[in-house]
A and B are shown apart, each in its own frame.
Chain A
């Protein structure tokens, strides 16, 4: 399989988890700040399931990216910047998804706040990684 194949695969595999993670953060943040309990619960559910789909989808994005960069985990220039953001984002995404799957609705307020901060950081790092990935493809 040549690099064009992996470039196409990476392009197809990355946007799905990125979008789902962003959706998850938006709904979880909304659930946190919303006053009424009913929409809060529904927002939390959307956030939970979005994250739960984003996490298992991310290995496909990671593996196709590694194949595309011929096994480079750091690299240089834009690729290095892409990797500097993607590895923490990926680690956080998987870790937080597992934490949330185990804890479900039993998280304390403090733990929920920590979760929100971390998942927002993960989402921001994912977007930054996406930006540098786009820089490589569209503008070199």
Chain B
């Protein structure tokens, strides 16, 4: 059976496409750090969504969109630190969110409103070990 050039192109295109994505998955395995058992990561690896309508719930939604990719979806830390049982004052946390930390954390002052920052602080305060 002789395939037309278009069919051959399509088959090869599919194969390359799948191969490229398989390569990405394999690279994911290579670059993923080995899990290290630590007391901070021993707990649950996901957060429970706080009660709807509360400030914490709003903070949770903002956290998932803006902070989770650095602090982890469970807020146990990844690129950024673990946010459970933070000892800093509310004002200091708000200032860190708004102004960031040079070379470590981006500033959110232009992206988030004061109410958003307040909600995030409330959410971070609700995180307990």
Contact = CB atoms under 8 A, between A and B. Distances in A.
Interface of A: 3, 58-59, 62-63, 66-67, 69-73, 75-80, 87, 90-92, 94-103, 106-108, 111, 136-140
Contact of B6 (A70, A78, A101, A106): A106
Interface residues of B, number: 43
A76 B69 CA distance: 6
Nearest to B29: A71
Contacts, number: 116
Contacts of A136: 69
B13 interface: yes
B69 A90 contact: no
A97 B16 CA distance: 9
B13 A102 contact: yes
Interface stretch (B19-27, B36-44, B51-59, B87-95): B19-27
Contact of B31 (A71, A77, A101): A71
Given A66-B24, A77-B63, A95-B20, 4 more contacts: A66-B27, A71-B28, A75-B73, A76-B64
- Describe B's contact surface by its main secondary structure: helix
A94 B20 contact: yes
Given A71-B33, A77-B66, A108 B6 contact: yes
B30 interface: yes
A66 B20 CA distance: 13
B28 A66 contact: yes
Contacts of A98: 9, 12-13, 15-17
A138 B68 CA distance: 16
Give 9 closest A-B pairs by Cβ, nearest first. Answer: A71-B32, A95-B17, A79-B69, A99-B13, A102-B9, A71-B31, A95-B13, A76-B68, A94-B20
